[in-house]
Amino acid sequence: MGKPNFPNIPLEEYHQRINKAKNLLKKYKMDALVVYDPENLRYYAGFNKVGMGVERRWRIGFVIPKDRDPVFIAPYVMEKSTVNQVWTDDIRGWAGPPHLNYTQDHEKLCADILKEIKAKVVGIELGQSMNSFLSYIEFQRIKKYAPRIKFVDACDMIWDQRMIKSKFEQDIIRELHKKLNRALNNSRKVLREGITEKEYEQAMYYEFVKEGMVEGAFISRMLMSGPGRYDVVIMGATDTKLKKGDTLWIDGGPRYRNYWSDIQRNICIGKPTEKVQRFWDAALSGQLEALSAVKPGNRASDIWDAGQTGVKKIGDFVPPSTRCGHGMGLNSHEPPIFHSADILKRLGEKNRELQPGMYITVEVGVKDPAGELTLMWPEDNLLVTENGYENLSKDLPMELWIVE
Amino acid sequence: MRKPKFPGIPFEEYKLRTNRAQELMGKYGFDALLLFGIDNIRYYTGHIKASYGFSRRWRRGVVIPRKGNPVFVSNNITAKNAMMTTWIEDVRPWGGPKQFGYEKDHETYFIQILKDMGPKRIGVELDDTIQNEISGGEFARIKKGLRKVEWVDASDLLWDQRMIKTKYEQGIIRDLHKRFTRALLKAKGQLKIGMTEMEFHGLIFENSVHEGIHEDPMAGRMMMTGPGRYTTYIMGPTDTVLKEGSTLWIDGGPRHKGYFMDIQRNVCFGKPTEKMKEHYRVALEATLACASAVKPGAMSSDVWDAGENALKRIDPKYLLKRPSEVVGHGMGLYTHEPPFFMSKESLERLGEADRELKPGMYVAVEVGIVDTEPAEPEVVTMWPEENLLVTEKGHEVLTKDVPNDLWVIK
């Protein structure tokens, strides 16, 4: 067993994850799992990929055979980084100068390992819900070096395991939200008439840094929808100055120890108009109704249905999205996804049952077709418990943030 | 012409890049480019992928025909963003609820768009140097709908264009370096013996935010190599306390408006030993030798050779103390782009081109010296890195205001 100086996951957690993976391999009738997605490397191997490197020379893989110890494949320049972080004993380098005598092709190395363990059916990240980083050409090469192996999509198996967060993961997630809530509550104090969206974003970042969330606060930005673009989503802050009467929607959140957060809140500069208040009330009604549906045994579509019921109590409103929440973890968007049953079917997504240990968001919103105010769209992050849920965002006031 | 409210790039820049792409398509024999890589989408359209989503539901792509205007296909959620941030007239949302009336599958749109254009040879991101974000299944569906088309890897064309930074890009890159120089030097001033690596990292990050580099200050971490792991690379900071006698290596840098930088410096806590000073001196001299080889007309392997020759001159024993077979690389919207500075032998073995340096290239040079004796290293790998813009006659050192001596913290 390796003895990493800087393990990212404790030994017990590593064993637990590998053993569970092996059991699932048997359930899914695969002889081995091969992963390249950095999130799966983090999850299964405890390896934290910190550089941006996506091209082939940085390719890192992890092989989990169903009845043997895992094998880690690392480019020579990252071998020591691997040794320092993972519990896996068997770390095999590839590429590098000739005197190292490493194979130059990680594809051949992977194929050789799979042949060594006599694998016939191998799960790999072929689905559309994971980013394996492995290019099309590299995958073709692996198949060429191992022509007798059948490669199948392993995403269902991986999600089966990753959707349910272990106690270790839940503790990190709780810590993340304590820090996030403090940071957002503090940065909220800078809001005033005349501040720009970017200045507000900067204030949020300062607070994240103070809270020690510096591993890469955002791969992207804290998203915002403000004046001039009230119905535009998934866009970052701009230099727009916030004036009296403006409304703003913020969306996203930093990572902490690789786990994501994703909250949403609404801001109004000055006293809200009746229309703003009514739209907020509708969103809030939907949100609270959807939250009450979060419990083990309920399905993804139940959350959507509850949310729409809650909104209808206030009136007829247009939802900003066909989705009102999703899972999270090492990725910002994981299964389950909360759509109506009809949309889930249309998208080919499963109508998954909620289970204790899931880490999810609930986000019911309303849109103003006239574009006079931003999307009113709160979002909370929760852990599903045995009897219901634990609201990790409860200390982030669930109200329209009014800036006097 | 639709005028985007928040254009990611100015109109002139958009036209310049599209025109150049179309010109290169003529050279490479493509009728169209089909691009899904986020860096390429950003480059050609100015659209910023602001969130993390890369599963199919977030898929967006751009078709650039050899003649005519590009088309942007976006998942319905980010389609308005695309309209707000790009100059492309034809933005087609896909997916969403039935009442929107959009095509259910993006693959269908791409097939339709390309069929209308009638291309025979389409360039796509098939290579292992570019991350294209599209899954094999999605690409297979598009190919199935266009059976008479030849699909060819477009990475040579894309790098041909992206390697040479436009004036606009160079402006952003210079601005990035000015900001981060200030941020890093401030952090250096705040650094004390007894701090942890993580605390130092926090200072760099905080100062970067202060400088307005918060679009995502670091897509990864500032990487660090410190006590207990002096020859470990590409790893982030830990909670290790930097005591008297420790040495540290920092590597990386933030993004600004999409553009990366990649700087390396070494730090010594307390009075440096002779070994520390010697290793650093050798590493710096070799790095500067590589830098002096950076000029138009030089080849990638010339830059490697310059570093190697410098080490031979100082003492051939240092040839065996190098941490890597790469002494530099290009940069831009991605951290490591062509050209790669390696020996001819390495380039050939790895299937990389020995590229000619041209004005407008944005590159890094970095030679390291590893402490190989005793078996457990006493000092960190000394490995400075400078970032340069290749000019008409030589190069401009963008990191010149970050002192490149061994930083000594007393």
> Tens of pLDDT along B120-171?
999 999 877 776 778 777 888 999 999 899 999 999 999 999 999 999 999 9
Judge: A238–B209 Cβ closer than 8 Å, yes or no.
no
Question: Cβ distance B41 to B62 under 8 Å?
Answer: yes
How many folded domains does chain B comprise? 2
Q: Is B193's pLDDT higher than 70?
A: yes
β-sheet bridge partners, residue B359: none
Q: Are residues B44 and B149 in the same domain?
A: yes
* Rounded Cα–Cα distance for residues B392 and B358 (Å): 8
* Rounded Cα–Cα distance for residues A7 and B226 (Å): 16
Residue A97 at interface with chain B, using a CB cutoff of 8 Å: yes
* Rounded Cα–Cα distance for residues A344 and A353 (Å): 13
What residues contact residue B396 under an 8 Å CB cut-off, 6+ apart?
A: B388, B389
What is the mean pLDDT of the segment spanning B363-370? 97
Task: Report the C-alpha dihedral over residues A178, A184, A186, A187, rounded to 10 degrees.
Answer: 150
What CATH number does residue B15 fall under?
A: 3.40.350.10
Judge: B229–A54 Cβ closer than 8 Å, yes or no.
no
Q: Is A219's pLDDT higher than 60?
A: no
CA distances to A120, B9, B361, B388 from B329, in Å: 40, 25, 10, 10
* Lowest model confidence (mean pLDDT) among A166-175, B221-230, B232-241, B345-354: B221-230
Which residue in chain A is spatially nearest to B127 when comparing CA positions? Answer: A137
When pLDDT is cut at 50, 70 and 90, the band that residue A399 belongs to is very high
Judge: B139–A127 Cβ closer than 8 Å, yes or no.
no
Q: The domain A167-403: what is its CATH number?
A: 3.90.230.10
pLDDT at position B216 = 63
Residue A209 at interface with chain B, using a CB cutoff of 8 Å: yes
Question: Cβ distance A54 to A36 under 8 Å?
Answer: no
Q: Is A165's pLDDT higher than 80?
A: yes
What CATH number does residue B185 fall under?
A: 3.90.230.10
Which phi and psi (to 5°) does residue A343 adopt?
-70, -40
Query: Count of CB atoms within 10 A of residue B1's CB?
Result: 6
Q: Would residue B3 count as lying in a domain?
A: no
Q: Are residues B155 and B235 in the same domain?
A: no
Nearest to A104 among B131, B219, B349 (CB): B349
Chain A neighbors of B91, CB-CB under 8 A: none
Determine the residue type at A169.
E
Question: Cβ distance A34 to A124 under 8 Å?
Answer: yes
Nearest to B136 among A57, A139, A202 (CB): A139
Chain B neighbors of A126, CB-CB under 8 A: 135-137
User: Is the predicted ipTM greater than 0.90, yes or no?
Assistant: no
Q: How close B393 comes to chain A (CA, Å)?
A: 31
* Rounded Cα–Cα distance for residues A224 and A187 (Å): 15
**CA of residue A67 relative to chain centroid, distance:** 30
* Rounded Cα–Cα distance for residues A106 and A258 (Å): 26
Nearest to B232 among A84, A129, A346 (CB): A84
Q: Where in chain A is the domain with CATH 3.40.350.10?
A: 11-162
Considering only residues 235 to 254 of chain A, which have any Cβ-Cβ distance to chain B shorter than 8 Å? Answer: 235-236, 238, 252
Chain A neighbors of B55, CB-CB under 8 A: 128-131, 333
Residue B377 preceded by cis peptide, ω within 30: no
Q: Would residue B4 count as lying in a domain?
A: no
Q: Which of A52, A201, A344 is best to mutate for the B interface (most B CBs within 10 A)?
A: A52
β-sheet bridge partners, residue B249: B225, B266
Query: Count of CB atoms within 10 A of residue A196's CB?
Result: 15
Considering only residues 112 to 151 of chain A, which have any Cβ-Cβ distance to chain B shorter than 8 Å? Answer: 126-131, 133, 135-139
Q: Where in chain A is the domain with CATH 3.90.230.10?
A: 167-403
Judge: B233–A80 Cβ closer than 8 Å, yes or no.
yes
Question: Cβ distance A374 to A230 under 8 Å?
Answer: yes
* Rounded Cα–Cα distance for residues A280 and A282 (Å): 5
Which residue do the tokens 């990191």 mark? B399
Judge: B220–A50 Cβ closer than 8 Å, yes or no.
yes
CA distances to A21, A65, A266, A383 from A171, in Å: 21, 29, 28, 11
pLDDT at position A51 = 74
* Rounded Cα–Cα distance for residues B43 and B13 (Å): 10
> Is the full-model pTM beyond 0.80?
yes
Judge: A55–B128 Cβ closer than 8 Å, yes or no.
yes
Nearest to B231 among A80, A235, A343 (CB): A80
pLDDT at position B221 = 62
DSSP tally for chain A: helices H, then strands E:
11, 17
Q: Quote the tokens at residue A369.
A: 């077709």
pLDDT at position B308 = 97
When pLDDT is cut at 50, 70 and 90, the band that residue A136 belongs to is confident
Q: Are residues B144 and B194 in the same domain?
A: no
Chain B neighbors of A216, CB-CB under 8 A: 216, 218-221
Determine the residue type at B232.
T
When pLDDT is cut at 50, 70 and 90, the band that residue B97 belongs to is confident
Q: Are residues B150 and B176 in the same domain?
A: no
- The boundaries of the domain holding residue B222 are 167-409
Question: Cβ distance A216 to B220 under 8 Å?
Answer: yes
- Among candidate residues B162, B194, B219, the one where a domain is terminated: B162
**3-class SS at B389?**
strand
Q: Are residues B269 and B149 in the same domain?
A: no
Which residue in chain B is spatially nearest to A218 when comparing CA positions? Answer: B216
Judge: A137–B52 Cβ closer than 8 Å, yes or no.
no
What residues contact residue B173 under an 8 Å CB cut-off, 6+ apart?
A: B165, B259, B261, B362, B389, B398
Q: Which CATH number fits domain A11-162: 3.40.50.720, 3.40.350.10, 3.40.190.10, 3.20.20.70?
A: 3.40.350.10
Nearest to A51 among B84, B215, B234 (CB): B234
* Rounded Cα–Cα distance for residues A46 and B298 (Å): 42
Residue A53 at interface with chain B, using a CB cutoff of 8 Å: yes
What is the mean pLDDT of the segment spanning B259-272? 95
Radius of gyration of chain A (CA): 23
Nearest to A52 among B132, B202, B220 (CB): B220
